Amino acid sequence: MTAPEDTASALARRLDDAAQSRTDTPSLADDHTIDIDDAYRIQNELLERRTARGESVVGIKLGFTSAAKMAQMGVSEVIVGQLTDAMAAEDGGDLELSTFIHPKIEPEVAYRLSKDVDLDDPSVDIESCVDAVAPAMEIIDSRYRDFRFTYTDVVADNTSAAGYVIGPWQSMRSAANLVVRMEVGSETVTGSTAAILGDPVHALHALVDIARRRHIPLRAGYVILAGAATAAVRLDEGVAQCSIDGLGTVSVNGV
Closest approach of ligand OOG to the CB of residue 100, in Å? 12
Closest approach of ligand OOG to the CB of residue 115, in Å? 25
User: Is residue 230 a contact point for ligand OOG (CB under 6 A)?
Assistant: no
DSSP string, 97-162: GGGSSS-EEEEEEEEEESS---TT-TT--GGGGEEEEEEEEEEE--SBGGG---HHHHHHTGGGEE
Pick between residue 158 and residue 251 the one whose CB is nearest to ligand OOG. 158
User: Is residue 43 a contact point for ligand OOG (CB under 6 A)?
Assistant: no
C-alpha span between 131 and 173 (Å, rounded): 9
Among 16, 39, 46, 64, indicate the residue that binds ligand OOG (CB under 6 A): 64
User: Is residue 191 a contact point for ligand OOG (CB under 6 A)?
Assistant: no
Q: How many CB atoms lie within 10 A of CB 209?
A: 12
Pick between residue 130 and residue 195 the one whose CB is nearest to ligand OOG. 195
Among 32, 41, 50, 69, indicate the residue that binds ligand OOG (CB under 6 A): 69
Q: What is the DSSP letter of 220?
A: T
Closest approach of ligand OOG to the CB of residue 128, in Å? 25
Among 147, 179, 192, 246, indicate the residue that binds ligand OOG (CB under 6 A): 147
Size of the site for ligand OOG (CB under 6 A): 13
User: Is residue 160 a contact point for ligand OOG (CB under 6 A)?
Assistant: yes
Q: How many CB atoms lie within 10 A of CB 118?
A: 12
Per DSSP, the three-state class of 232 is: coil
Per-residue burial over 235-252, b = 16 or more CB atoms within 10 Å of its CB, e = otherwise: beeeebbbbbeebbebbb
Closest approach of ligand OOG to the CB of residue 141, in Å? 8
Stretch that binds ligand OOG, among 128-136, 139-147, 212-220, 245-253 (CB under 6 A): 139-147
User: Is residue 159 a contact point for ligand OOG (CB under 6 A)?
Assistant: yes
Q: How many CA atoms lie within 13 A of 113 on its CB side?
A: 23
Backbone angles phi, psi at 57, to 5 degrees: -75, 125
User: Is residue 228 a contact point for ligand OOG (CB under 6 A)?
Assistant: yes
Among 227, 240, 241, 251, indicate the residue that binds ligand OOG (CB under 6 A): 227
User: Is residue 241 a contact point for ligand OOG (CB under 6 A)?
Assistant: no
Pick between residue 11 and residue 101 the one whose CB is nearest to ligand OOG. 101
9 in Cβ contact with 32 (< 8 Å): no
C-alpha span between 242 and 249 (Å, rounded): 6
**Positive or negative CA dihedral for 30, 32, 33, 39?**
negative
Backbone angles phi, psi at 10, to 5 degrees: -65, -40
Which residues inside 80-109 make contact with ligand OOG, applying CB under 6 A? Answer: 106
Task: Summarize as ranges the residues that interact with ligand OOG (CB under 6 A).
Answer: 63-65, 69, 106, 140, 142, 147, 154, 159-160, 227-228
